[in-house]
Structure 1
């Protein structure tokens, strides 16, 4: 390994890699959010060339139980393996002595018990009943109900190291099913609600599911379609409404069965549980083929939740509030909604199932969260709604809004540069404008605004910053148990995805084709997964012998220690001329210059020039599928360009005159993008407006990640037309 040299405050391996170690303590010159008060202690980011010599995979772990294996659930059972793909396998607890001292390994049942012991009467959940009234559940009741569900699952045939699969919208029953499966010695495995019957079958079969919990009849039909091919599936439970099928249990049935059982069997199983065993399966989005079951241990989840909440200065001393609405089958929602809330005894308010179709704003106003996590599409929808509302203002109101935004941007830009003093002008606009906007959005007491799962555009971040809403980005993956880096309000950088969370490590595997000081992002720490269930070869391709998780993402580390994502190694386009092009940055720039564009897909691998496929923003139907109808802003844009009414995408692509005028306008935006290109080889030379926007479970995965191979195949004829005249 090459010797490390420190450049601009971070370690850079001159030949092969660079390693970034998390800060020992959180930096604190600026809180980034005028709603937040933080201590102003000075700190430093520790990054040393000695990191390369320090092998965290062999650091001294906490005491390993050498007894009969019945000291659980917080015991550590013997293992020297860094990974496993076996359901009953164990791994060595990774980390250094400092992380073990700050957070001793803790099981999921141990975490639930700890929360219930610390704050038994604090409200854990708020959800609405059938009449629209809010119902409270305390942490004491939370633990009792999870134990009741676990006892029912044991009675219904859940076997050790087999799974309970859950498909449905966020609810108390989802939480109880997840944690009940873990308490009972099985695995919790979420299934995306957008999955079809065959995708559901894959999850059920590969996880050896004994029980499947569904929300309603719609999800039940998917399971019934494949049930006869699942000999291990013993029980189906429907948690919303009364099942019509006599072979399907209701949630009331589950609770009744659990209450009739003694605690003996459950307590006996809990004693066998170890923190270095698997407790949860998270299925990857399947953008590159059949989804893989990511095995996460108790320690993966409880440690990551501890590290993230500590980094964000959250504690149980303050009653935090979050709204649960993002899919719990995704690791980000699981970590935030289940594990972070348990760690700091926060209140979880459940949104209704139409949250992503427009009702989320109502829940936010009622719940008034102190922490809010959104995926980019959620922030983009809020952005669009606020822009649309702003266009209705005129005269003095419009001028005041413009002045206020400028004042906010100036304040936050000054704060980033070390001057966090609030001017009287900023304080005035905060009182007159920003506080009122936040109140209308339900953000009047929110102190953390976060975005994850995909990159958030700079335009959207700057827009919200102009409203005194500073969004921090988090970066991670299912295999890292959730967040691995997180932006800090105390040391903010608007262009990065954050600093490495305390106790973890980030390394760049530098390669010349990625660009200067760029490399594949590799991660190591107690958050890194155990392996892919029953897929040892794929596990070995992802986890190396030193315990580094190879993400497949390309990035760089700046002088502040912030990680920047510049692309994916598997998405890297290599043109016929040998130019390496990272498509994501160019695609984001196109959407920034032409906000009427919903999706952009760059083409150019082994081609003579770059081209791009574009979709226009359209309305979605009740199922969340894109329709042909253009959103209001795009309708107005098209009407202004063409001089005619344009209601749908078809009105444009099926009319040559309108199509030419709209294409000419888009070309102007492409020209602006090309002026910012680093080389002529990165200029976009051709584009096409597709007849429909992209849809989940077609061109997009469940977390809205682009399935490039699907797009390439579906629009192969369009792509070939780009190059037909000039050849490849």
Structure 2
């Protein structure tokens, strides 16, 4: 073990486990061992739930289908045996492309049980994006959801030299001409499971016992904000240790009476940790949302399931916030008075109960709780003991609003490269606007030159597959991960350990704007100030690299096409309300672009934001309003809704150049 490297670029090279004291010293376990233990404990208990909707039926009229932990494991083992039957070997790769479903889990854990590696592909990827990952990972089997995803492989399966089979799940039937379209065998999920019926159970047992906690077992492909996706190699110990470290921060131990909704892309580390690995440690039940969850159906699933833990990316919380603002504006009279009073009581309570707060309770807070409880019920969050947010920045005003309706949201920070979380707020220790404190058993420090967060621990990944230089750039010789994020750390230390206070992200190294005058400018801080000063904004992007002054692109809140996910020009939410408030007749972005009242709104808002800037160098000189908003289908956002700055800069280059003309 002592001779092993901290990091590698080879998928078959075990890495050193960063053992330490306390939490860092718990026994290293494989994913297989964790699965064995949970099946022994909860075998007959419910594990997974899905609405299997038939043609012509709706989700509302469809009952839930349930798999117990034993049935879950049986499907996983069957998938693993079928892999072995077609010549699958240790460290071979399975790609999974599709929306969250039991089959996603069966294939993921089946690959691991067979000694291989699972790698998800975002379902929004086009054929070229799918080919890149399947080619780079040398996938032996690709699992796809339905004909739509299957068709992405028609034009390139013959170029994938390692591909042995494609497996399709979901209600679709295989196309009659599929054998003419593809040069490899294509199976329905049910038919594929039959291939391994003659493989002995002992074959899987032997493979499981031979696995090492330091072996690579999962690939997470980065969303590619700064270049081609990198394959983040995650080990067994990364998964099992990190899941347990995160679970320790919860307000209470979780068990089979806890419930979570699976709806975020399982190709992302956050969803894998939340939907697969943390539940696997405690027996938490998972309920699969509908594929259109982020286009509107998530609300119905929330009310149906009433989860006890809920994780939302910022956009999910923002959408709920926007709807609540509309409801609030339509409330009048006594009901409005009581609502405002109750929110004031809750806001005071949660302000007092942040870390180092006075912990006092407003005298009439229990009555406010009863009133606000109706809101929690309406949202489906009445059983929720912890709500989380991560994956992208969220405005403090959103967090403060939810606290005022008695729904505190805990922000956390992590990366694919640290197997999910590194810092988290917890029910027992949180501060609004911070990303929380580091997990126990990890070590954090700051680069004295630029404030970059550097950290180590058993959650740090094994390296980027087939990218030796990138791996060495990211993990140093002492095993510390260079995060790329600039942070500040307060003095609320854990047990007096240095650099274990609450952290605030102030910028990202690769996103720092360096002006022509040599000033280093963190764009996120500027963008947040603009959005705080102008609530009608949905997004903003600061510009100024190698320029004499800063400019900014504004996106107003607009309606999104439900079918395509693309933005329209029609104002909605706070933007439409603002238009009425300032006396403008504009109902579209095109009309707002030429409206003097909107010009004054932006000029005044920018003046306020500039006045709150940390220095004059961070003042913005000019702005431009775009026709629509930044979206994933539009190319400006990643699947986890992070801004692709270089893509947006290229797409709106004419607008940007006009600002500097």
TM over 0.5: yes
Structure 1 residue 613, shift from structure 2 partner: 0.7
Residues paired across the two proteins, number: 635
Q: Which residue of 1 aligns with 2:57?
A: none
Cα pair 1:79 1:91 within 8 Å, conserved: no
- C-alpha displacement at 1:582, in angstroms? 0.8
1:6 aligns with: none
SS for the counterpart of 2:428 is: helix
Cα 1:684–1:371 change in 2 (3 A) is same
The C-alpha deviation readout for 1:158-204, integer Å capped at 9, x for no partner, is: 33212110111111000111110111111100001111111111110
User: Where do residues 219-368 of structure 1 align in structure 2 (5 Å cutoff)?
Assistant: 219-240=149-170, 241-244=172-175, 245-246=178-179, 247-317=185-255, 319-368=257-306
Q: Which residue of 1 aligns with 2:496?
A: none
Question: What is the DSSP-based 3-state SS (H/G/I as helix, E as strand, rest coil) of the residue aligned with 1:261?
Answer: coil
Q: 1:573 and 2:503 equivalent?
A: no
From 126, 129, 147, the equivalent of 1:217 is 147
Deviation at 1:97, TM superposition (A): 4.0
* Residues 625-640 of structure 1: pairs in structure 2 closer than 5 A: 625-640=566-581
1:204 aligns with 2:145: no
Three-state SS of the structure 2 residue aligned to 1:491 is coil
What residue is the counterpart of 2:58 in the other structure? none
- Is 1:710 matched with 2:623? no
Could you tell me how far 1:480 is from its partner in structure 2? 0.4
Shift of 1:650: 3.1
The aligned residue for residue 548 of structure 1 is 480
From the superposition, tell whether residues 335 and 422 of structure 1 become closer, same or farther in structure 2 (CA, over 3 Å): same
Bigger RCO of structures 1 and 2 (CA < 8 A, at least 6 apart): 1
Is residue 575–residue 604 contact of structure 1 (8 Å, CA) maintained in 2? Answer: yes
Secondary structure of the residue aligned to 1:281 is strand
Moved over 6 A (4+): none
Q: CA deviation at 1:605?
A: 2.0
Q: 1:484 aligns with which of 407, 422, 427?
A: 422
Give the Cα separation in 1 of the matches to 2:614 and 2:5: 45
Alignment deviations for residues 193-226 of structure 1 (CA, whole Å, 9 cap, x no partner): 1111111111101111011111111111112222
Instruction: State the alpha-carbon separation in 2 of the partners of residues 100 and 593 from structure 1.
Output: 44
- Give yes or no for contact 1:288–1:707 (8 Å, CA) kept in 2: yes
Q: CA contact under 8 A between 1:84 and 1:536: conserved in structure 2?
A: yes
Distance in structure 1 (CA, Å) of the matches to 2:503 and 2:581 = 41
Q: For 2:530, what is the secondary structure of its paired residue?
A: helix
Aligned equivalents of 2:435 and 2:6: distance in 1?
A: 27
Which of 23, 28, 31 is 1:99 aligned to? 23
Q: How does 1:506-521 map to 2 (within 5 A)?
A: 506-511=444-449, 514=450, 519-521=451-453
1:652 aligns with 2:592: yes
**Is the CA contact (8 Å cut-off) linking 1:642 and 1:662 kept in structure 2?**
no
**Cα displacement (A) at 1:289:** 0.6
> What whole-Å deviation, never above 9, does each CA across 1:579-617 have from its counterpart, x for those lacking one?
221110110121122122121111122222211011122
Aligned position for 1:524: 456
Residue 419 of structure 1 and its aligned partner are, at CA, apart by: 3.1
The answer to whether structure 1 residue 130 and structure 2 residue 53 are counterparts is yes
Give 1:617's match in structure 2, choosing from 535, 553, 557: 557
Give the aligned CA root-mean-square deviation in angstroms. 1.7
**Alpha carbons of structure 1 residues 271 and 414: separation in structure 2 relative to 1, 3 Å:** closer
Query: Which residue of 121, 135, 141 maps to 2:44?
Result: 121
Match 2:632 to one of 696, 703, 709: 696
Specify every segment of 5 or more residues in structure 2 that has no aligned partner in the other structure, as ranges: 55-61, 180-184, 493-500
> Shift of residue 253 of structure 1?
0.7
Separation of aligned partners in 1, 2:254 and 2:606: 50
1:639 shift after superposition? 4.1
Question: How has the CA–CA distance of structure 1 residues 314 and 217 changed in structure 2, closer, same or farther, with 3 Å as cutoff?
Answer: farther
Deviation at 1:523, TM superposition (A): 1.6
Q: 1:402 to 1:316 in 2, by over 3 A?
A: closer
- Residue by residue over 1:673-700, the C-alpha shift from the partner in whole angstroms, topping out at 9 and shown as x without a partner, is 1111122222111000012212215111
CA contact (8 A) 1:95 1:503 kept: no
Deviations 1:49-105 (A, max 9, x none): xxxxxxxxxxxxxxx6xxxxxxxxxxxxx852111111211111112143364x311
Describe the SS at the equivalent of 1:199. helix
Partner of 1:363, secondary structure, is helix
- 1:53 corresponds to: none
Identify the match of residue 405 of structure 2 among 464, 467, 475. Answer: 467
Distance 1:298 1:314, change over 3 A: farther
Q: Specify the SS of the correspondent of 1:334.
A: helix
Whole-Å Cα distance in 2 between the matches of residues 671 and 183 of structure 1?
59
Summarize the Cα distance change of 1:642–1:156 in structure 2 as closer, same or farther, 3 Å threshold.
farther
| Separation of aligned partners in 2, 1:371 and 1:662 | 41
Structure-2 separation of matches of 1:636 and 1:380:
16
Q: 1:143, CA displacement in angstroms? A: 1.5
**Are residue 723 (structure 1) and residue 660 (structure 2) matched?**
yes
CA contact (8 A) 1:157 1:210 kept: no
Are residues 139 and 644 of structure 1, via their aligned partners in 2, closer, same or farther at CA, if it must alter by over 3 Å?
A: same
Give the deviation of 1:129 after TM superposition. 2.2
2:483 aligned counterpart, secondary structure: strand
- 2:544 corresponding residue in structure 1: 604
SS in 2 for 1:423: coil
Contact 2:456 2:481 in 1 (8 A): yes
Q: Tell whether the 8 Å contact from 2:221 to 2:230 is kept in structure 1 after alignment.
A: yes
Change (3 A) 1:463 1:236: same
**Structure 1 residue 143 corresponds to structure 2 residue 73:** yes
Distance in 2 of aligned mates of 1:267 and 1:406: 58
**SS in structure 1 at match of 2:208:** helix
> Is the partner of 1:489 in helix, strand or coil?
coil
Preserved CA contact (<8 Å) 2:23 2:245: no
Matches within 5 A, 1:148-227: 148-227=78-157
In the other structure, the counterpart of 2:394 is 456
Structure 1 residue aligned with 2:325: 387
- Cα distance change, pair 598–366 in 1 and its aligned pair in 2 (3 A): same
- What is the alpha-carbon distance in structure 2 between the residues aligned to residue 461 and residue 410 of structure 1? 14
Relative to the length of structure 2, the TM-score reads 0.93
Normalised to the residue count of structure 1, the TM-score between the two structures is: 0.85
Q: What is the distance in 1 between the residues matched to 2:73 and 2:388?
A: 28
Which of the numbers 422, 425, 430 marks the counterpart of 2:364? 425
Which stretch shows the higher mean deviation, 167-176 or 263-272? 263-272
Partner of 1:110: 33
Q: Secondary structure at the residue paired with 1:474?
A: strand
